[in-house]
Structure 1
Amino acid sequence: MTACGYRVGGQGASLPTEIKVIAVPAFENRTPWMRLEQRLTAAVMQEFIHRSRYRVVGKEQDADAVLRGAVTSATTTPVIFAPETGRASAVQVAVRVSVELRDRRTRATLYANRDFVFREQYEISSDLDSFFEERDPALDRLARDFAASLVSAVLENF
């Protein structure tokens, strides 16, 4: 019997087998975007829980490996404008995060990206009253999308 080199993506085969528990302490926020680090940290924890075999905790002392992150920048850039008003109807959000996953026992770096960049385009409402109502859901979507991208990179070691 022979085996092919196929495996299911996102299952964490590139991490050492002794890693069972990953701590994701609160990311540091070096931007003026209030609570962005809380959204990103929570989304990353949820993504690990849903997409991997690892148990996820918030405290480092309870883990085999620790994923640390620092949000280094967050920007929005208008990319599409409504022709009738000239106002932005879509923006690109770019978030830069420095991340590192370390084995607590050996202190070996299992994954690191000092300049993990996530970009996503979002439509915005031209109605000023609903603009602020859409901000929180848009940031939640951003956090989920960012987390999916980061967890894929960590699990597949890209």
Structure 2
Amino acid sequence: MIDGVMVKQLKVLPDERGRLMEILREDDEIYMRFGQVYLTTGYPGVVKAWHYHKIQFDHFCVVKGMMKVVLYDSREGSPTKGEVNEFFLGEHRPIVLRIPPLVYHGFKTISGEEAFLINVSTQTYKYDAPDEFRVPPHDNDIPYDWARKDG
């Protein structure tokens, strides 16, 4: 796994009224600090990638549908430089995925319906100076192909 990435397995507690799932608590090992919480979605088959942050850690949790989240470590001096990690997040795999600064990340919705991703970031978004740096999803130096891998 890429250095600095963490995964927290979530517990879904169902009863006759519905379900409860805690996502992130301040006493979790994975928790760092609160910046903001936001929701982003993806339509089936759509890739939203690649970007990274210089300061911010992200904590991704897909609460509806399924997404493939991919990370790429291009950090100079990192013991995992050049590594690519794939994670499948969503209704069938409830986890929180912590993504450290300077690690490229993106996602593709792999469910047949729109997927909903909640991110708890460690920084607030600064509209006048965003901590967000992007490269195109397909035409770049990242050694990853977003095509489905049948087999």
Report the structure number with the largest CA radius of gyration.
1
Higher relative contact order (CA 8 A, sep 6+): 2
Q: Which protein is richer in strand relative to its size?
A: 2
Q: Fold-level match, TM-score > 0.5?
A: no
TM-score, normalising length: structure 1: 0.22
TM-score, normalising length: structure 2: 0.22
